[in-house]
Amino acid sequence: MTPVIEALMPMFVGAPLLVGGALLAVPRAHTLRSVLGMLSLLAMLAGAVTLVVLTADGTVLAHQIALWPGGVAIPFVADAFAALVLTVTAILAVVCFQYMIASGEAKSPSITSLVLILAGGVAGALLTGDLFNLFVFIEVILLPSYGLLVILSRRGDMNGSRLYVTVNLLASTLFLAGVGLIYAVEGTVNLAELAGAAVDNPATAVAAAVCLGAIAVKAAVFPVHGWLARTYTVTSPAVTALFSGLHTKVAIYVIYRIYAVVFDGDATWLIVALVITSLTMVIGVFGAMGEPTMRAILVFHMVSQIGYILVGVGLFTQLGLTAGIFYLLHHMIVKASLFLSTGAIEQTYGSGRLEDLGGLRTREPLITAAFGIAALSLAGLPPFSGFVAKFSLILATIDAGALAVGIVALAVSLFTLLSMMKIWAAVFNGKRPAHIEEQAAEARVRARDGLLDDEAVNAEEVAEEAAAAIERHDPPRGVSPGEEDPHDHRGTRIPLRLALPALQLAAITIGLGLGGELLLGLSETAAAGLLDTSAYVQAVIGR
Amino acid sequence: MSLALTIGILLAAGVYLVLQRGMIRIILGFVLLTHAVNLLIIAAGGVARRDAPFFGGDTSNAADALPQAFVLTAIVIAFSITVVMATFAVVGRRDDDTEPDSATPAELGDENEEVSR
């Protein structure tokens, strides 16, 4: 059974690419594309779960592409770490695609294909055991991302997209240079053959550090985090959620993997990693303070949380890595949930600015619940998964004697909570602004007519649409029209199908919080695989 | 040595162009940067100490094929991304930061100063 599964591992990449390409041939069949796209992503999820089950005991699955001997072939490797990240990636791809279908974005002819190619590229980057192949898969991830960013940005300006492509190309070029340097020193780019190479040879360490530096740009680690907030905010919320779960997190996965295998967890450089991660935590959370929109606040928190996740690799103890991996998986789910719940608000009410929103608590119980759960989980309160993640991470810092990092992590949590309360106070509490109905109506008119954000919209049409929305819902509890009422339920509401994706992810974070034992156990196996890479090397090159 | 010098010159020119403001210059800068990196990979194959693989050369000392395969792949990827970037440079409104805003000559002068600084 296992050899068959091993031989099928390349299909994680091949199947989405093939289906994605084939779907471009049916530009008119929206439903067919959505159904096939969703089925492919669900199949990927099923495959990823199978990998988790097979690797849960610490087994490493490896397949040599085209059955060339180990060391010559490009290997595909799945250990517990790769399988876990792949599973969460597949969950996010499914949920974000579900949101795109709900919001109508998936109707655009190329979107389904782009999402599938993106998912295939991510699977390849997670499973490949070859550094040059990794570079190729990072490009496979990036190319559809450029497309998604532009097609769904719905704005006239290209600033964010241009910045995004420039930054990522620079990082990729630097990564490629690092791979070239590693080949120059070691004569191989096979990760398993490079095991421990950076400890033995300082030249390899420098070459691998070039790779790590390049990947750090993609992971948005301080001081190279600045591009994130200016690019993730310009596109559709579903794309932001998808990117937040896939791009930066793949980069984090690569940092964990390269440091564990090539550097063998060399303790010399860990202090550098701890300083950088602490600064990332602090800068990210302070960056969020002055931001005027929900999404920009969340993106800066992403930077801060990336700091938390990388503390795991900075400690490089069994407990630290376990906590870091758990944090990574928890964060992917929670962040996507937040982006999707605020995204549903943004798309329905026509603005993500804090000052343009208010009083949604009584009006949108589902979204309020989804946001509340995910926000508390992000801040690290029990009983959600964030508590398990943060608690184990802080225990790990104390255990490793890095008390200062633990204190920074705790303090930053407080500020995270403050930021979440700021969104809560401005968007969910308080009074609904008077112009919210016109704003929502304008968003609907724009979506209907396919107008960009900076194109003029017909004022009469908007007024009609706003009046119609108020007509559609009968005033509850006998409130007469026009009367000042904080619980006025007339007018625009977020459709259930837009609220569901965020709720599903919020349910997962509750599950991971209450039943954290299971995932912690799996993370422990994954961490053990990173601490002792002999099983990985054995599976790939047989020694 | 000539390879190292070429890489250095390409890299310097590429970095200079990437730091410019216009999108087209940035694209050209990236073209030069990727050329530099491709040559770096070729150099990683040890060109100085290896022979041609055909026509009577010593096979035990034949040129390393792997870096050449790397470069071939990298060229294709770089080409496709250059096309994407070129598209980004021409579509969309002229509301980006890559050109100075159209303004009165006096203000324009200020901006040029800022750029040169």
Residues A26-69 have pLDDT tens digits of 888 888 889 999 999 999 999 999 999 998 888 888 888 888 88
pLDDT above 60 (res A156): no
Which residue range(s) make up the domain with B94? 2-116
**How far apart are alpha carbons A415 and A418 in whole angstroms?**
5
Cβ contact, residue pair B41, A166, below 8 Å: no
Contacts of B73 in chain A (CB under 8 A): 132, 136
- Over residues A175-187, the mean pLDDT reads 92
> Closest approach of chain A CAs to the CA of B82, in angstroms?
10
Cβ contact, residue pair B77, A454, below 8 Å: no
pLDDT above 80 (res A438): no
pLDDT of residue A267: 81
Q: How far is CA A490 from CA A50, A472, B22, in A?
A: 47, 8, 50
Contacts of B92 in chain A (CB under 8 A): 156-158, 161
Contacts of A177 in chain B (CB under 8 A): 37, 40
pLDDT of residue A15: 92
User: Given pLDDT bands bounded at 50, 70 and 90, which one contains residue A172?
Assistant: very high
Among the ranges given (A168-177, B29-38, B49-58), the one the predictor scored with the smallest mean pLDDT: B49-58
User: Given pLDDT bands bounded at 50, 70 and 90, which one contains residue B109?
Assistant: very low
| Token pair listed for A403 | 């008390």
pLDDT of residue B112: 44
Contact A475, A495 (CB under 8 A): no
Beta bridge partners of A62: A77
pLDDT of residue A485: 53
DSSP E strands: which ranges in A39-138?
Answer: 61-64, 75-78
User: Given pLDDT bands bounded at 50, 70 and 90, which one contains residue A8?
Assistant: confident
pLDDT above 50 (res B104): no
Count how many residues are written for chain B: 117
User: Given pLDDT bands bounded at 50, 70 and 90, which one contains residue A181?
Assistant: very high
**How far apart are alpha carbons B114 and B117 in whole angstroms?**
5
- Over residues A8-27, the mean pLDDT reads 90
pLDDT of residue A494: 80
Mutate to test the interface with A, among B16, B19, B85, B90 (most CBs of A within 10 A): B85
pTM for the full predicted model: 0.90
**How far apart are alpha carbons A67 and A182 in whole angstroms?**
25
Look at residues A349, A197, A337 and name the one whose alpha carbon lies nearest to residue A266: A197
- Over residues A494-519, the mean pLDDT reads 87
Q: State the residue for tokens 């610490």.
A: A58
User: Given pLDDT bands bounded at 50, 70 and 90, which one contains residue A103?
Assistant: confident
Which residue does chain A place closest to B37, by CA atoms? A177
| C-beta neighbour count of A542 within 10 angstroms | 11
Q: How many helices (H) and strands (E) does chain A have?
A: 22, 2
**How far apart are alpha carbons A140 and A138 in whole angstroms?**
5
Cβ contact, residue pair A156, B89, below 8 Å: no
Cβ contact, residue pair B77, A136, below 8 Å: yes
Query: Mean pLDDT of all residues in chain A?
Result: 86
Cβ contact, residue pair B30, A169, below 8 Å: yes
Q: What is the ipTM of this complex?
A: 0.83
Tally of structural domains, chain B? 1
pLDDT of residue A113: 92
